[in-house]
Structure formats: structure tokens, C-alpha cells
Structure 1
Amino acid sequence: MSKATFAIIAAVSAGAGAAATAAMYSLRSDTKSETAKSTSTAVVPVPVPTPSPVSVPMSPSQVFPPTGIEVPSTTPVTKALVDPAGLFEYGFPGPISDIATRRALISSFDRRLRNPQWVVEHITPASLAVRDGDRKHSVFLEDEAVPEKFRAKLQDYFRSGYDRGHQVPAADAKWSQAAMDETFYLTNMCPQVGEGFNRDYWAHLEDFCRRLTATYPSVRIVTGPLYLPKRDPADNKWYVRYEVIGNPPSVAVPTHFYKVIFAEDGKAGGQVALGAFVLPNAPIPNDKPLTDFEVPVEAVERASGLEFATKLPPQRRRRLCADTTCAIVVREYAERQKAFGRDGQKRLAAPPRAV
């Protein structure tokens, strides 16, 4: 990746350390070691050990490695001095991601940070046109599918100063009350700054994603938290620092959030407009252009440890903000209130403004 590409990140920093971190990740070589490329593997004991460890990839359905494998007859035989896999007799340490498949979303939960790693959703003009759900009937829920000791709890957010911030917004699941209810599981939540972010700029970004369905018949979105380093002016070193809430403190407060958007043209093998945005978990002025938060998809990958669109060939890719206008529409709550007089009759108000 060229230096010019990652110069974008330096120009789009929203919060302290966001762009510098993305640029820092760009300096790492794209050459991956064999260790980084490999899937989860486990060394297993065999009746006649070989000189080198024998690894068998684990399938997602396996919690523990297999108990034995066949050794080719041509393999030289020597006696193994150690057997690390013997530990698995007592249990597999992990990490284990709790994957939840619900009506309107799929989520992967990080037990250590008590936050989702990513949450995937799909919106279409048809899904947004149905209005059978109402959030006033929904309540926040602890996810009992996650073991209790690793679970984010309602009490963790009590008087924390943070909102229970949806990663997949409830407004994207109005097509079903049951689907909307499932967006209120805490496995779809992260602690978010309320005023100026969750209730403002972040909500405008969610609205931008919905408005994309006026141009694209299918929009898929991945949303999740980031914990980015920041340079300490005292010693000029980089540190990852984030607050932890709860009692005992266990739920991490992300420093940033990302959205990776796949806007599809609806044709089999058609074009996909890709857009990636990283926003600080902090108040953001509504006059801040959305393009200030645009970053290369690779920057989100390096920061999150995740991969996006690895099977999408380059010839099918487009840059979202080159394919359409990337701008939020500011709908201030106070301005909406002004649209109604004391008699309850709707009156004309200034139109929303795009940023």
C-alpha cells in the first residue's frame, strides 16, 4: 500500500491518536509469517511420535483437539520429550468468541473486554419500509448465552456516565418487533459517550447508512469497537489506555468505533462500493464532514485484527465516497421540536442540512 494512501488517514483523524495509529499500522510489512497465516491448530499426542510436532486444524465446532491421528508409515520414529497437548485433557483455554445469530444481526462477543468484536447487519429498501417494531416496547437485556462470569451486565452501565450504545441500531430492525427486541442484548452494546456522540453524530452516521438504500438495493454493514494507542507527551511513547466500568470493573470503554460498509448494486457478481469510517468515542461537532473520518479498509483491519472483503476481487470494488456523496444529514432534536407548536400542530421548519 502506497504512502499516499495512508496519508489519507493522517488527514482524517477525528480524535487524538486515531489517524496516527492508522498510519503507524501502515508501516508494518504486508508479508505475514506462517504463524499469522495459520488457523487455530493443536498438537496432539500420537502412539509413535514424530520428530516434528503434528498439527491438526480445529474446526469451529471443536472445543477440544482430536485424541489421535494416523502417522504415515514413512515417518521416522523418535521419542518425544514433551507433550504440551496433554494440557487439553483438563480443558481448552481459548480464546472463544460467542457467536450469536439473531433475526437482524450476527455478533461476535469478546469475553475479555465484555464488548462485541463485530456485529453484522443487512438493510434494504424493503426492510426499512416495514414499521412493525417500536423501541418503546423493547428493554435492554443481558445475554444469557454468554457465561455469567464473562457477561456484560445491566448493573455495569448503571451511573457509569456512558450510554448503552447499539452497534446495530434498533431503527434498522423496525420490520419486526422481535428483531428489534434482539438488538437490545448487551452483546450488541458498547459503552458510548452519550451527548455529542451516541445521541448525535453517531446517530447521524447510522442515518447515513440507511439513506444509502435510496441508491443501493442492498447495504451490508460491520460495526465494532477499537482500542487505539495514543502518544504520551511525557515520554513520547505510545500507550493503549481505556476506561473500564462495572463492579468489579470489567466492561471496557472503547476509544473509537468503526463502520465498514458494503453497498451492493444488487447484481450477481456486481459492483460493491466499500467505505470504512473510524470515529472517536467522544463528542463530535455536527459540522464536522463525514469524509474527515474516512479511512482505508486496511487501516481498520490492522487496528482491529479483523479482515474484511478478502474474497471480493479488486475489479468488483469501488470506493464508496467516490461512488456517492458521503455526508451526514443533521437532524437536531431541538429543531424537530420547533416543527410543532404548543397546540400540537405541525409547522414548517428549516430543512435538515448535509455535512
Structure 2
Amino acid sequence: PQGWYQVKPSDYTGSGFDRGHLIPAADRNKTEADSKAVFLMTNILPQAPDNNQGPWENLESDCRALVRQGKELYIIAGSAGVGGTGMKGKRTTLVKGAVTVPATLWKIVVILDRPGLTLESITETTPVIAVVMPNQQGIKGRSWTSYRTSIDAVEELTGYDFLSNLVEPLQAVLEAKPVLPAQSTQ
């Protein structure tokens, strides 16, 4: 919107934070338009390098491995809170307050057996992954599986209502599950 600061890639230079992608470039490379879209600043947030290059990246890789196995994934990702720790210490904002540094990053993954399934194909046994990871240094060697949680916990953190197109009894079961369909390959 007019009057809002327009974030530039250079705003992250020297900040101690990576330009963290909510949708990774490796997930959107089928067309040139898709590839360009992931580099829009609306898809990028200040992410601690150890988070971005550690458990977050490993979860992204494991999701791609599931797709290579023939699964179809529905992924929702975002951030919550204020204040993360990058290579230069704790920060709440960048660019004189124009960019908020999040305290955590979260991701929800619904895993369907194969492409083309509909909403009606989702059952109580459909695998889901939910994680909340701290936006901080010192976690690069940790497995993303150590940050598993329930979708309910992500809803409580964010105030959002996920999986709201599912009938309520099914939604409640899936959102309460802190399950993992397979161990991390990382």
C-alpha cells in the first residue's frame, strides 16, 4: 500500500539474518513465473541462519522427498511473535522498524497419498506435520522433528483457524495429532 515501506533484498545485507523463504525456491521451479515469485519480498522474512540452514531447510527437503515418493502435500507456513537472534544478536526489527523479526517460524503439512485427491479423501489417518521453530542461532544441528507440535498449538500461537474446510470432528482429530508419518531423512 501507498505510504508503506517497500522492503528490498539489500535491507537484509549485514543484518545477521538470512532472507528466509516461506515457500522455498526448490519447491516452485516448474515455470519461470513460479521461480521469480518466490523471490518477492512478500515471501521473505528475517530468519536466523542456523534455523534457515538447519532444521527449516531439512524439513523442506523431507517434504520434497515425500513428493518424490508420489505424495501430494498441502503446506501452510508463517511466523509469529517478535524478536529473533541472528548472527549479530537479538533484534526485534530491521530497517529502522520497517521489518519485524519474528520470534518463531511455523509450518503445517497435510500429506495425501497421491496427487488429485479431494478434501473428501482426508481422513483421521491422514498424516500431518506441524512444527514451531525458534528464530535463533544455535539450532543448526537439531532435527526438525524436535520441534513437532500439534496444529492446535500452532492455532493457539497464531490465532488462525487451520483446516477449517474440513468437517469439525475430523478437523479436531487432525489438529490434535502431533504425529509424524516418517522419520526425517536429515
Provide TM-score, normalisation by structure 1.
0.43
Deviation at 1:296, TM superposition (A): 1.2
Distance 1:289 1:157 in 2: 26
Conservation of the 8 A alpha-carbon contact between 1:242 and 1:254 = no
- Percentage identity across paired residues of the two chains: 27
Deviation at 1:291, TM superposition (A): 2.7
1:243-282 map, 5 Å: 243-246=92-95, 248-266=96-114, 267-268=117-118, 269-271=120-122, 272-282=126-136
Conservation of the 8 A alpha-carbon contact between 2:55 and 2:143 = no
Does residue 306 of structure 1 match 2:160?
yes
Aligned amino acid, residue 207 of structure 1: S
Deviation at 1:303, TM superposition (A): 1.0
Conservation of the 8 A alpha-carbon contact between 1:163 and 1:193 = yes
**Which SS does the other structure have where 1:321 is aligned?**
coil
Distance 2:26 2:149 in 1: 26
Give CA-to-partner distance per residue, 1:40-72, whole Å, 9 cap, x none.
xxxxxxxxxxxxxxxxxxxxxxxxxxxxxxxxx
Conservation of the 8 A alpha-carbon contact between 1:220 and 1:261 = yes
Conservation of the 8 A alpha-carbon contact between 2:56 and 2:144 = no
Deviation at 1:325, TM superposition (A): 1.0
User: Over alpha carbons, which structure has the higher Rg?
Assistant: 1
Aligned amino acid, residue 298 of structure 1: D
- Note the aligned Cα RMSD (angstroms): 2.5
Deviation at 1:300, TM superposition (A): 0.8
Instruction: Please point out which of 309, 317, 321 is paired with 2:179.
Output: 321
Aligned amino acid, residue 30 of structure 2: W
Deviation at 1:151, TM superposition (A): 2.9
Distance 2:144 2:54 in 1: 13
Structure 2 residue runs of 5 or longer lacking an equivalent are 84-89
Deviation at 1:309, TM superposition (A): 0.6
1:232-247 map, 5 Å: 243-246=92-95
Structure 1 residue runs of 5 or longer lacking an equivalent are 1-145, 230-240, 330-355
Partner of 2:9: 154
Conservation of the 8 A alpha-carbon contact between 1:263 and 1:320 = no
Aligned amino acid, residue 264 of structure 1: L
Instruction: Please point out which of 163, 166, 171 is paired with 2:26.
Output: 171
Conservation of the 8 A alpha-carbon contact between 2:58 and 2:144 = no
Partner of 1:6: none
Instruction: Please point out which of 150, 172, 179 is paired with 1:296.
Output: 150
Distance 1:290 1:182 in 2: 26
Distance 1:270 1:245 in 2: 43
Conservation of the 8 A alpha-carbon contact between 2:150 and 2:178 = no
Aligned length: 169
Per the alignment, do residues 228 and 252 of structure 1 end up closer, same or farther by CA in structure 2, a change over 3 Å counting?
closer
Per the alignment, do residues 227 and 216 of structure 1 end up closer, same or farther by CA in structure 2, a change over 3 Å counting?
farther
**Which SS does the other structure have where 1:191 is aligned?**
strand
1:103-142 map, 5 Å: none
Deviation at 1:315, TM superposition (A): 4.2
Aligned amino acid, residue 28 of structure 2: A
Conservation of the 8 A alpha-carbon contact between 2:80 and 2:105 = yes
Distance 1:243 1:328 in 2: 33
Distance 1:282 1:296 in 2: 21
1:209-224 map, 5 Å: 209-215=63-69, 217-224=71-78
Aligned amino acid, residue 243 of structure 1: T
